[in-house]
Structures are given as structure tokens and as C-alpha cells.
Amino acid sequence: MAHQATSADIPAEAQALIEEAKPVSIPRRAMVENNRSYHWVSEKICGIVEQKTPMWWWLATGISGFVALYTLFGLVYLVSTGVGVWGLANPVNWGWAIVNFVFWIGIGHAGTLISAILCLLKQRWRTAVNRTAEAMTIFAVVCAGIFPLFHVGRVWFAWWLFPLPNANWIWPNFRSPLEWDVFAVSTYFTVSLLFWYMGMVPDLGLLRDRAKETWRKYFYGVLAMGWRNSVKHWKNYEMAYLVLAGLSTPLVLSVHTIVSFDFAASILPGWHTTIFPPYFVAGAIFSGFGMVLTLMIPLRSIFKLQDIITQYHIDCMCKITLATGSMVGYAYAMEFFIAWYGANSYEAFAFVNRAFGQYWWAYWIMIACNVISPQLFWFNGIRNNTTLVWVISLFVNVGMWFERFVITVTSLANDFLPSSWGYYSPTLVDIYTYIGTFGLFTFLFLLFLRFLPMIAIAEIKALSLPQADPHNEDHPQNANPQPAEDK
């Protein structure tokens, strides 16, 4: 064992300098406030799952399930009638389907970022929000996968996208970014699902041990996969969790990079630019954190989780939103600079047309929501006002949808030949299919809240509570104080 230095080992001259400087140790922000105990954390988070189902949950689940039927009916009508029921026509052959696909994929980026990258960077504040963000990722990717699958038109031939042996010698074009999407999104969904489930195993074991109803014992017992909280189990768990975090990290960067190649690999003005990969990744993280704030702030209030999801957590998410929003604003400016500096008349027209052409209203909504509104997070008073933070997060979500609309539609509507220009308008089938995905997302998310722990109990106890640190002898928790009363 290494020898630990004591004050007696420090030379007298150094000791004098230390006493003269009087260094002050800066205390770390508490990840869980009010000196909560292990028992309180277990009771608070497990109680959300174990309590009697509240009436608001039944109402919200029923409404969201009904809205989700919009997507089902829209897709059935699409398959039975044809893609012509969407507002697609020359020259705009990519419409709301691709816009919504990119939007939902972007929403799903924050979960893996919080879970994987911040885990590798040892950011402890992630523990309060990572579980919910991971669930959001899974459900957002489910919604995203609907659109490219049905966008192919003859959906019963979608299996041709995979390199399966066939008698017709028809093979996918592996040089196409659209083909890369198939593998990137499916891989991202698989790894994210495993990562989400792996992190829940210790908490599922806790719910199994606490269960009183028979069906709960069997339900959580099967999901816990024999978890016994042993040293061997923890060793295997931590190793697997770290490996999945390492696998997920490059996926965060690669998936939306490949999505951006759908546009950047073309020769169409407004799309053919090398700035798209980092621009799309920053935009995905930006929109993802916007959705995390949109979901977590109401949940924090409904379930009275202010001691676990503290103001510090909201502050950190606001700062990341500000940083990525500034990157997106920089990318918007650089697009205009590149168009001017490149001296390409078609490229210059494409960006001037975005700002002042027939879709000017969409462009300026995008600028107001994505560039201007996040700048309010520079002010501490704004970040400390949860109502304003929630409103700004809604603006971020709206702005990022309009960004995908502006990129996709404006470049197609006004291409090289003025004689082929057109104006794209969505149909009711487009609109209702998209609205239905919000119902599907909300329905799945409400099921998650009801039956699975929304916060990582084991990680909160191990990383956020001060009594988990064996070297923190001076903390009042070690004196076994009475836990603070619940607010």
C-alpha cells in the first residue's frame, strides 16, 4: 500500500507557505440536496412505480394513445393508396417524412450523450437525468424509423435494403448514404437499448425485492436476470456498462453525421457542403437537450424530485444548450459566408432565397428559436427560473423542426431550373401522421414512467450521495442525522 503523506512529512518551509497562502477548498455542489439518506432515495424513486396509478396518468395515457392512432391510420391509408397522399410532387420529392425523420433522430441524441460521453468524462450530475434521457432516445428512434420505412413507397419491398441473397441479383447500393442510414440507425437503436437496459438491472433487482404483489415479483424478477447485488455481479455490471459507453460514444457522432450525408453527398445548392456533419451533430445535441428539459422540468414538479433533480442539474443542461445553440448559430453564419466566398451563383441564390424567398417565414422562425432564444441562458436569473427554461426549451424544439424543414424543402423547391420551381405544402395525411408520432412518443414514455424507475437509483447512491465516499469522514451524514422531511 502506498504511503499517505501527512502534515509531518511536509517540510517546514512548505508548511509555512501553505499557512501563509491559506488555501480554501471550494466545496462541490451537492448532487442530492438536504442530506438525503440511501433509504429516502429508494423510497422516493421506487414509490413512483409502486404507488397507486394516479388519475392524470390514465388521462394522459388515453389521450396520447388516441393521438398515436393518427399515425397508424395515416400509414394504413398511405400503404393502401400510395405515396401520392403525401404532399410530394416535382420538384419537392422529399417533404415532411424526411424532415420528421431527421427531427426525431436529433431528439434521440441527448440520451446517449448524457449516458455515454458524460459517463466516460465522469460527470456526476448526469445521474439524475440519464435514465429518462435514455428512455427518450429509445422512443424517439422508434418514431424516427417510421418515416424512412414508409417513405420507400412499396413498404413490402423494404427488405431489399438488406444484402440478402436473391434470384434477381438486386443488391443495395452501398455507396449511398441512404443505405448507410439503415445500418447506422439500427445499430444506434440496438446499442442504446442495451445501454438503457443494462443500467436498469440493479434497480430492477431492488424493485423485485421490494415487490409485494405476485405479478410484480415475477415481472421485475425476470427483468433483473438474477441480480443478487454481489461483488461479482457489480464487477461484471460495471465492466459491461463501461464497454457499452465506449461503443455508444462514437455512435453519437456517427449517426447524425451519416444522416447529414443524405444531403451533403448530393450536388444540390444548399446541401452540397462539408459543414453539414459537425453542424448536424451540434444541432442534434441541441434539440436533444431541449427535449430533455421539456420533459424533466414538469416531471420534477409532478413527482417532487427537487432534491434529486436540483437547480444545478438544470443549470448544467442550460449551459450545454447554450453552447450547442451557439455552434448552430455559427454554422448558419458560415453557410452564408461559404456561399459568398465560394463565388457560386447557385449556392449564393439558395441561401438568399432561404432568408428572403417564399419560405422566409420558416427561416426566421428558425433563427429566432435556435439562435436568439438560447442566448438568454447567459443570464443566471433566466437559468434559475424553471418556467422560463421550460418555455425556451419549447422554442428550441420548434426551431429545430423548422431547421430541418428549411434545409430539406427550400433547396428542393428552387433548384437549378426556374421552370421546374414549385411550392411544397403538406397534406392532412402528412400533418396527422406527424402529430401521431408525438402521441406514440408520449404513450411509450408514460408506460416507462409507470413501470420502470425513471432515475438511476444505484448511480445516485454511488456517485451523488456524500456518504458513499468512504474518505468523507467529516460529512454530517456519517453521524447518522435524521433525514430531512419531504417537501
Residues with Cβ within 8 Å of 192's Cβ and at least 6 positions away in sequence, in order, are 108, 111, 112, 134, 137, 138, 141, 248, 251
227 vs 209: CA distance, rounded Å: 10
- Is residue 46 within 8 A of residue 456, CB to CB? The reply is no
Identify the pLDDT of residue 336: 86
Q: pTM of the predicted model, to two decimals? A: 0.85
Name beta bridge partners: 89.
92
Identify the pLDDT of residue 414: 81
Q: How confident is the model at residue 24 (pLDDT cuts 50, 70, 90)?
A: low
- Is residue 354 within 8 A of residue 406, CB to CB? The reply is yes
Identify the pLDDT of residue 105: 87
Q: How far is CA 420 from CA 258, 417, 423, in A?
A: 29, 6, 10
Residues with Cβ within 8 Å of 38's Cβ and at least 6 positions away in sequence, in order, are 461, 465, 467
Whether pLDDT at 388 is above 90: yes
Residue 188: closest CA among 147, 143, 137, 238: 137
280 vs 460: CA distance, rounded Å: 32
Give the phi and the psi of residue 120 in degrees, each rounded to 5.
Answer: -65, -30
Cell 390514465 sits on residue: 58
Identify the pLDDT of residue 456: 85
Identify the pLDDT of residue 313: 87
- Residue range 66-96, pLDDT digits in tens: 999 999 998 889 888 888 888 887 788 888 8
DSSP, res 267: -
Whether pLDDT at 39 is above 50: yes
269 vs 416: CA distance, rounded Å: 8
Q: How confident is the model at residue 361 (pLDDT cuts 50, 70, 90)?
A: very high
Please compute the mean of the pLDDT values over residues 17-21 and round it to a whole number. 68
Please compute the mean of the pLDDT values over residues 382-406 and round it to a whole number. 91
Whether pLDDT at 317 is above 80: yes
Residues with Cβ within 8 Å of 412's Cβ and at least 6 positions away in sequence, in order, are 91, 92, 93, 94, 268, 424
Residue 225: closest CA among 196, 194, 193, 202: 202
What percentage of the chain exceeds 70 in pLDDT? 90
Q: How confident is the model at residue 485 (pLDDT cuts 50, 70, 90)?
A: very low
Residues with Cβ within 8 Å of 387's Cβ and at least 6 positions away in sequence, in order, are none
Identify the pLDDT of residue 1: 45
Please tell me whether residue 82 adopts helix, strand or coil conformation: coil
Please compute the mean of the pLDDT values over residues 162-188 and round it to a whole number. 79
Please compute the mean of the pLDDT values over residues 266-274 and round it to a whole number. 84
What percentage of the chain exceeds 90 in pLDDT? 17
Return the higher-pLDDT residue of 84 and 384: 384
As given in the structure block, the three cell numbers for residue 117 are 460521453
Identify the pLDDT of residue 398: 92
Identify the pLDDT of residue 27: 64
Residue 294: closest CA among 178, 386, 409, 166: 386
Residues with Cβ within 8 Å of 339's Cβ and at least 6 positions away in sequence, in order, are 347, 348, 350, 351
Residues with Cβ within 8 Å of 193's Cβ and at least 6 positions away in sequence, in order, are 138
Q: How far is CA 331 from CA 136, 213, 340, in A?
A: 26, 55, 14
Whether pLDDT at 299 is above 70: yes
Residue 240: closest CA among 203, 190, 195: 195
Whether pLDDT at 460 is above 90: no
Question: Is the dihedral angle over the CA atoms 8, 13, 16, 20 positive or is it negative?
Answer: negative
Whether pLDDT at 443 is above 90: yes
Cell 412499396 sits on residue: 154
Q: For the ranges 133-137, 408-412, 413-417, 476-480, which has the lowest average pLDDT?
A: 476-480
Based on the number of CB atoms within 10 Å of its own CB, is 391 exposed (0-12), middle (13-18) or buried (19 or more)?
A: middle
Please compute the mean of the pLDDT values over residues 336-345 and round it to a whole number. 85
Whether pLDDT at 486 is above 50: no
Q: How confident is the model at residue 378 (pLDDT cuts 50, 70, 90)?
A: very high
Q: How confident is the model at residue 470 (pLDDT cuts 50, 70, 90)?
A: low
Whether pLDDT at 330 is above 70: yes
Return the higher-pLDDT residue of 227 and 110: 227
Identify the pLDDT of residue 419: 78
184 vs 283: CA distance, rounded Å: 18
Identify the pLDDT of residue 26: 61
Please compute the mean of the pLDDT values over residues 143-160 and round it to a whole number. 82
116 vs 25: CA distance, rounded Å: 30
Q: For the ranges 151-160, 246-255, 275-284, which has the lowest average pLDDT?
A: 151-160
Could you write out the DSSP letters of every residue in 393-446?
HHHHHHHHHHHHHIIIIIHHHS-S-GGG-------HHHHHHHHHHHHHHHHHHH
Please compute the mean of the pLDDT values over residues 395-407 and round it to a whole number. 91
Residue 359: closest CA among 104, 99, 78: 99
Q: Mean pLDDT over all residues of the chain?
A: 83
Residue 198: closest CA among 237, 172, 166: 237
Please compute the mean of the pLDDT values over residues 335-339 and round it to a whole number. 86
* Domain spans of the chain, in order of start: 38-152+189-461
- Is residue 408 within 8 A of residue 99, CB to CB? The reply is yes
Please compute the mean of the pLDDT values over residues 235-262 and round it to a whole number. 86
Whether pLDDT at 487 is above 60: no
140 vs 106: CA distance, rounded Å: 8
Please compute the mean of the pLDDT values over residues 39-54 and round it to a whole number. 86
191 vs 388: CA distance, rounded Å: 34
Alpha helices in 211-308 (DSSP H): 214-224, 231-264, 276-302
